[in-house]
Chain A
């Protein structure tokens, strides 16, 4: 194990505030030295990196065009892929080991005091979906219990089996899955035992279905018989290793101490003023194997509690007009070459 990897693992277990910045800068230098593509990008920006906030963030889209590795190619053991639902191909995140990812998931869960109820996961098992980082996260949380995954290899949601599982226990459980999977459950009669929580993630990208969070949470609260405050959102992405969480409606997303964000003013590309909306730049110390700083297209507003309110993951309004025509034609031509 690399010394730096070990140092990060220790930090995740014992995150001392003063060590965040030096460790972030150390990881940045490590990645810059070992990842020639990232180094070229940093050189082109010519910024003086004197704080974690100024670490050059790679646009999330770049993961679709480039292989970003801060370790030797031949050491690649795992590859996670984005869903590719936006039609421009998928982003790829390569890892030589899962230790940091697993630690980020488990310590994150601990940090937010999320319950250790038995899990029911509306996702495929990691064996059935080896390129899904979410399935892998499910694998960590369930310690590999395959029967806790309720979506088959072919993508079929096993409603009957889920119903049976929920009916067989009075113990509180954690039902975790994509927002889309929950929408697909909508007509099914399911009640969760008292004290259960529900965790949704992933938005509705490319599904053609869009439901406001308030509406979704009210609907879920009624269908499952739990208060909206027991419904959580996990905000993560394939290109990162750590996750932000929020609970209920209208509350901030918060990250564990090793996961930080800056809201960017899109006009100036500098940090936005308090209260201003802008795309999120995320710095994740557990993301040692690619790049620790990623610029997303997700809009958010920073909050006084140290978190952010997410405004949207998939700005549906865009692209518009004749820009949209171009976008659709390119997608179509990529889907079926002439």
Chain B
């Protein structure tokens, strides 16, 4: 990485990201601080002393980013990382496209613009030095089987996030929980799908419903299939509420805008998302209840964000632990799915003597 170029790249990214506040604080200074944190010394000089010798950081290039359609957030994060390390970038967009990503690219200077397409050209894959894949386990496995030994493979399979609440909670906490649900229509890997509450779980569900009804005020629309699946889910739970003890359905009236299910059973439940949340009492055997999803947990939001609950979340398999209300705001420097996000796109050249 050359130091003058990294300044220009940081500036270009900062400027292109300006209209997208949901990307977090992407000022030039923050970006450079991030590069310095992950790749110490490299923002100032391409070569630095490393033990008894010198080391040069070279980007893996080109990087092929295979994107999924749930949110533009992850797509832009991976592109930005690729740009910052100085790689050539190739984006394979999902079928339904990602307009926010295209707009971001338009704001980039020509030399930093990635190659973009919705169809994967065969040479994109064979020439890439790094392949970043977002998608289901199935998709990830498909590309994994085709990866060459010299290619670096960075898989981001779909993940599940949720919240743990212990003891008392006030309106602000529940408001934060509702906000975490609503961002990106709950389609991101950081979007909480359920809350486990040690305390008055029913009251948490009721307050969450109130907060969602306040937060989601403008009418929304869906494709036929999504609307039908949301309706089917709601009606199924209404049947369960009428016939199973303790189950409660709190729903947006005469619309599919949001849904809170209160279910006293510890069983994990399918969730069609689009602002659908399950609230359950904290299961007696938490670890066992969450065992089926352990390897797929991304973020666990906790309240209170104290040592005990944080330790518990780590024990349960969290990749990231944060306060309720912050689930959708990972810091720029976070280790997306557990590895350093810039350093993983770098190869080191050792120069001795």
Binding site for B on A (CB under 8 A): 37, 40-41, 43-45, 58-59, 61-62, 65-66, 264, 266-269, 277-279, 295, 297, 299, 311-312, 315, 317-330, 332-333, 338
A-B contact pairs, 13 of them (CB 8 A): A40-B243, A61-B236, A267-B227, A297-B228, A315-B229, A318-B272, A320-B273, A321-B273, A322-B189, A322-B273, A325-B159, A333-B292, A338-B288
Whether the Cβ atoms of B136 and A324 lie closer than 8 Å is: yes
Of B79-87, B115-123, B142-150, B263-271, the one with at least 4 CB within 8 A of chain A: B263-271
Given A43-B242, A44-B241, A329-B293, A319–B255 Cβ distance below 8 Å? no
Bound together, the chains give a CA A325 to CA B225 distance in angstroms of: 18
Give the nearest-CB partner of A37 in chain B: B243
Question: 1/0 contact trace for B271-309 toward A, CB 8 Å?
Answer: 111000000000000001001110010000000000000
B contact residues around A324 at 8 Å (CB):
136, 158
A contact residues around B256 at 8 Å (CB):
266-267
In the complex, how many residue pairs between chain A and chain B have their CB atoms under 8 Å apart? 134
| Beyond known contacts A61-B239, A268-B254, A322-B70: 12 more, CB 8 A cutoff | A41-B242, A58-B239, A61-B236, A266-B256, A267-B254, A277-B224, A297-B229, A318-B225, A319-B272, A322-B160, A322-B161, A338-B292
Whether the Cβ atoms of A41 and B243 lie closer than 8 Å is: yes
Bound together, the chains give a CA A264 to CA B224 distance in angstroms of: 11
Binding site for A on B (CB under 8 A): 68-70, 136-137, 157-161, 187-189, 191, 193, 224-232, 235-236, 238-243, 254-256, 268-273, 288, 291-293, 296
Instruction: Pick the residue among A40, A65, A338 that contacts B291 (CB under 8 A).
Output: A338
Whether the Cβ atoms of A329 and B231 lie closer than 8 Å is: no
Give the nearest-CB partner of B293 in chain A: A329
Whether the Cβ atoms of B240 and A65 lie closer than 8 Å is: yes
Bound together, the chains give a CA A319 to CA B271 distance in angstroms of: 8
Instruction: Pick the residue among B157, B230, B231, B288 that contacts A325 (CB under 8 A).
Output: B157
A contact residues around B191 at 8 Å (CB):
322
Give the nearest-CB partner of B234 in chain A: A269
Bound together, the chains give a CA A33 to CA B262 distance in angstroms of: 29
Whether the Cβ atoms of B68 and A321 lie closer than 8 Å is: yes
Instruction: Pick the residue among A40, A279, A326 that contacts B268 (CB under 8 A).
Output: A326
A contact residues around B224 at 8 Å (CB):
266, 277-278, 299, 311
B contact residues around A318 at 8 Å (CB):
225-226, 229, 272
Whether the Cβ atoms of A269 and B231 lie closer than 8 Å is: yes
Whether the Cβ atoms of B193 and A279 lie closer than 8 Å is: no
Bound together, the chains give a CA A279 to CA B268 distance in angstroms of: 26
Given A44-B242, A278-B224, A326-B293, A295–B235 Cβ distance below 8 Å? yes
Most buried by A among B136, B256, B292: B292
Bound together, the chains give a CA A62 to CA B247 distance in angstroms of: 14
Given A266-B227, A297-B229, A322-B193, A40–B242 Cβ distance below 8 Å? yes
Instruction: Pick the residue among B225, B254, B268, B293 that contacts A317 (CB under 8 A).
Output: B225
Which 5 pairs of residues, A with B, have the shortest CB-CB distance?
Answer: A333-B292, A325-B158, A44-B242, A266-B231, A321-B70
Chain B min CB distance to A71 (Å): 18
A contact residues around B235 at 8 Å (CB):
59, 269, 295
A contact residues around B242 at 8 Å (CB):
40-41, 43-45
Chain B min CB distance to A290 (Å): 14
A contact residues around B158 at 8 Å (CB):
321-322, 324-325
Give the nearest-CB partner of B158 in chain A: A325
B contact residues around A315 at 8 Å (CB):
225, 228-229
Bound together, the chains give a CA A319 to CA B226 distance in angstroms of: 9
Whether the Cβ atoms of A279 and B239 lie closer than 8 Å is: no
B contact residues around A264 at 8 Å (CB):
231
A contact residues around B273 at 8 Å (CB):
319-323
Bound together, the chains give a CA A66 to CA B244 distance in angstroms of: 10
Chain B min CB distance to A209 (Å): 16
Most buried by A among B159, B232, B271: B232
Whether the Cβ atoms of B137 and A328 lie closer than 8 Å is: yes
A contact residues around B230 at 8 Å (CB):
266
Chain A min CB distance to B186 (Å): 9
B contact residues around A266 at 8 Å (CB):
224, 227-228, 230-231, 256
